[in-house]
Chains A and B, each alone.
Chain A
Amino acid sequence: MRRLPMMVALYATAALAQAVPKETPPTPGPPTNFSLPEIRRFALPNGMRVRLMQYGNTPKVAIRLVTQTGNIDESADRVWLANLTGDMMQQGTTTRSAEEIARQAALMGGTLSVNAGMNETWIGTDVFTESATNAVALIADVARNPRFPESEMARIKTDALRKLSFESSDPQSLTDAKLRQVFYPNQPYGRPFPTPEMLQGYTLDQIRQFHDRNFGAARSRLYVVGRFDQAAIESAIRREFAGWKAGPPPAVPVVSPASRPGVYLIDRPGAVQSTMLIALPVIGVVPGSPDYRPLVVANAVLGGSFMSRITSILREQKGYAYSPVSYVQMMLGTGYWAEDADVTTNVTGASIRVVIDEIDTLRAQPITADELRGFQNFLAGIFVLFNSSRDSITVQLSSLDLYGLGADYLRDYVKSIYAVTPADLQRVMQKYIDPARLAIVVVGDKKAIAEQLKPFGTIVE
């Protein structure tokens, strides 16, 4: 308690102020313009693209090599081979042991990691400014010269089996996997899990081959964001990567998403919540296409933000769920819209009803310009936020390159969000978010929810 007794009397009048009429919030000042720092772009003769951006005042720098390969390059009998390849790349190079890689990265202030995803594999670290060029050398070595030691193979497979065992019992992973199987039958995007036997059968030769066929300069981009010596980093990049083979060009996957409306139920006896994805493929929309931004705005209004219509009802009005959210998920060549929610078991049907009703409303009635303006402000603000950390800037820059968008995409982003009209929004809702095409994936207690699910379509188990 600090200096309290003499203060109490002084504040007695302030307490009375509670009886006066409501105050309104002070009006915000004029907005400050935001512009992204300059991006230095160049390419090496072997095709590797480089993007450098000086950002922030923390004496650190994020360095990420992004290679356009991943699960997309797996065949049906080689699921997760991309991940195993990435894991094995961390087990040493021709001149550095795994322990040396770890120790050297630690001395730079970082941890080196290799992460394989659907479209891209990221190799990178976040280190102190003074270690930037050493980190470039380390990343180049891991990308170009993996040793693939036989001695580590059994352990890496065991780790993959452990991960598979966890994900096959996790309700969120299960709904996500089921959704992809429904939307992308017989395609890499529709193969979320390998079988344990498949994992056990992988050989070192298959991993070597995957690396050899899919990694190379022509498929790779290097991002450097933070504080660093520009001339020194440029020469380090040329020194470490100029001799890398070009390898294959980036591949554009052929994707044919399927609309398969229905209710897909995975029984989880005794579950106290139903974990749900209510979703549909958005056919023909990719980042950069004219309907993409109206769709992003529509999603923010519908379920994609805390203030959205669905979240306001499911969470704030009803208390049915903690963090319901919708999103537009884009992958190379395709994308889908999904509402993601974990709801109390006994309100599973009621929650689905809320989602469908809100879709119907947004399709039937144009949003007012006022309501729209709030969500545009939100998206503009979030955009600035996404450009306020080394890692999120790297992700943004990498998305531009993955989807073949120019730098003007970021420069014009805010303007294009504000350009969306109520009519645009209603049009994309009507065109893409058709409730009749929804796939509803539910992981929950069948005994308690089967009846609740009936009104929403044929139940497929």
Chain B
Amino acid sequence: MRRAIVSAIAVVICAACATTTPAPKAAPAFSVPLEYHTLPNGLRVVLWRDQTSPRVTVAVYYGVGFRVEPKNRTGFAHLFEHLMFQGSHNLGKGEFMKLVRLNGGVAGGSTAFDFTHYHEIVPSNMLRTILWAEADRMKGLDITEDALTSQKGVVSNEIRVNVLNRAYGGFPWLDMPQAANVNWYNAHNFYGDFADLEAASLEDVHKFFKTYYAPNNASLAIVGDFDPAQTMSWVNQYFGVIPPQPQPPRADVSEPRQEQERRRSKIDDKATRPAIAIAYHAPEPESDAYYALALINQILAAGKDSWLYEDIVRKRGLTAGIDATMNSYGTMFDIKGPTLYTISLFHDANRSPEEILTAIDQNIERLRTQPVDAATLDRARVKMRSMFYNDLDADYGFGRANLLEAFALFYDDPSRINRVESRFAAVTPELIRKTAEEYLRPSNRTILTIVPGRK
């Protein structure tokens, strides 16, 4: 499970202060030269050729995330991700990883709300081999009882090291969805209860695989140094023969409009200081308001020039830094269903959560009642463009594949990557204010506090 909490790196803003640095000239519009194909079996394939380095990234996304895992099998989607490395008909346990690593590549997987992903970054001469291997495990798995048992052990230890054996484990990324959502799909323990993990059987594995790990529920992205025509012929050869599967009706993952503030508190016997997180239900991903919220985040909480950094960190000294994210498990782009805008920070025991909340609210009320000035909005757009480029550059090229796959899988339209900047450009001060008014209302939020002490 990737726990990529997008850390809002710091800081302040003084909208009224003059700046001595001239605003940079407008950069040329960003455009990705992409190719998009859909195979007859429904597999969506996106290619982005970039010959900067003799490497290629191959990524496969399956349209099933932890949101929709079986109700008596919490944590199963993530456990399953581990099993995808445990053997297929042609490659025995561990051989997939060996094939990648011992030929100079890296491989990984992650489970998120709306998808499970697998990717490899390999020297470009390995492309054909890796396409074969990804297709091979899409065709079918061959998991033994022993492999299932060892991965239950590995996952249990993953949960221990990331959640149970540390201070603030699961805060707020695992705790908040459970506190803020009411629909089970959004509100259960995504890492899984140990009893559910223990109960997982090979039969569950077969059923989950057959239903969800089908080409018509997947997308494939290839980014890097390759020959597109040759690559598509390999893709057709290896993936084209895999049959599609009927897909179950989509689960209703919607959250009702929240009308009343919710509060939750968690006692943490390993924590040394209190912490607070505030989560607001965000607008629907890809809506105009969602893009407005991303800019609100830049103004309010992201970076050392943000209002909250200036006020709460620099002026009042209530904390050393603030985290804010629209998706605790990835970027703002790789989520389709309901998501939370979450602000979190650690504070001292002699300052109450109420004091911190009041300070945050004062800043949020400015956004809800007055339109932001042009300079502030412009700077938010510059920061957002920079963050977008960073998302694309992340993880040695995997970031590019990630965005393409999300747009292909969710909207059948990877070319949205070329319109991201224009979506931000279209946001007006009035849309910012209206979005803040509706989505940053106190009745739309959940407040989670961490209280150090004995359970």
Contacts and interface: CB of A to CB of B under 8 A. Distances in A.
Given A18-B140, A34-B53, A381 B105 contact: yes
Interface in A303-326: 305-307, 312, 315-323
Interface in A92-111: 96, 98-111
Interface residues of B, number: 102
A128 interface: yes
A381 B101 CA distance: 8
Given A59-B27, A98-B314, A320-B153, A111 B17 contact: no
Interface string A154-186: 110011001101101111000000000000000
B386 A31 contact: no
Contacts of A315: 154
Contacts of B52: 55-57, 388
A4 B55 contact: no
Nearest to A20: B89
A171 B165 contact: yes
Contacts of B383: 106, 109
B366 interface: no
Contacts of B129: 25-28
Interface string B366-394: 00000000000001001101100110110
Determine chain A's interface SS by DSSP, over half rule.
mixed
Nearest to B98: A307
A187 interface: no
B236 to A, nearest CB: 13
A368 interface: no
Interface in A2-35: 2-4, 7-8, 10-12, 14-15, 17-18, 22-34
A389 B396 contact: yes
Nearest to B155: A322
Interface stretch (B110-118, B144-152, B172-180): B144-152
B109 interface: no
B242 A14 contact: yes
B200 to A, nearest CB: 14
Interface stretch (A192-200, A370-378, A433-441, A452-460): A370-378
A103 B106 contact: no
A87 to B, nearest CB: 10
B150 A319 contact: yes
Given A108-B21, A111-B303, A319-B153, A381 B123 contact: yes
B125 A30 contact: yes
Nearest to B384: A109
B161 interface: yes
Contacts of A27: 129
A1 interface: yes
A321 B19 CA distance: 51
Given A33-B54, A166-B272, A272-B164, A4 B216 contact: yes
Contacts of A131: 24
B310 to A, nearest CB: 7
A110 B153 CA distance: 42
A134 interface: yes
Contacts of A163: 320
B157 interface: yes
Nearest to A389: B396
A152 to B, nearest CB: 8
A187 B247 CA distance: 64
A312 to B, nearest CB: 7
Nearest to A17: B241
B393 A389 contact: yes
Nearest to A300: B101
Given A104-B20, A129-B27, A162 B273 contact: yes
A423 interface: no
How many of chain A's residues touch chain B, expressed as a range?
A: 35 or more
Interface stretch (B8-16, B254-262, B401-409, B424-432): B8-16
Nearest to B53: A388
Interface string B152-196: 111111101110111100000000000000000000000000000
Nearest to B250: A1
B104 A25 contact: no
Interface in B83-118: 89-91, 93-94, 97-99, 101-106
Given A4-B244, A99-B12, A319-B149, 19 more contacts: A4-B247, A11-B41, A11-B242, A22-B90, A25-B99, A28-B126, A103-B14, A111-B304, A128-B27, A129-B27, A158-B317, A163-B320, A169-B270, A272-B164, A307-B102, A318-B153, A319-B157, A322-B162, A323-B161
Interface of B: 9-14, 17, 19-21, 23-25, 27-28, 38, 40-42, 50, 52-55, 89-91, 93-94, 97-99, 101-106, 121-129, 132-133, 136, 139-140, 149-158, 160-162, 164-167, 216, 225, 241-244, 246-247, 269-270, 272-273, 303-305, 309-310, 314, 317, 320, 346, 348, 379, 382-383, 385-386, 389-390, 392-393, 396-397
27 contacts: A2-B38, A7-B40, A7-B42, A25-B133, A28-B129, A56-B393, A102-B305, A103-B14, A107-B379, A109-B385, A111-B9, A126-B386, A128-B382, A129-B27, A163-B320, A169-B270, A170-B167, A171-B166, A319-B153, A322-B160, A322-B161, A343-B157, A344-B160, A378-B101, A381-B123, A384-B104, A388-B396
Query: Which 5 residue pairs are nearest across A and B when measured between Cβ atoms?
Result: A319-B153, A381-B104, A11-B243, A374-B102, A109-B386
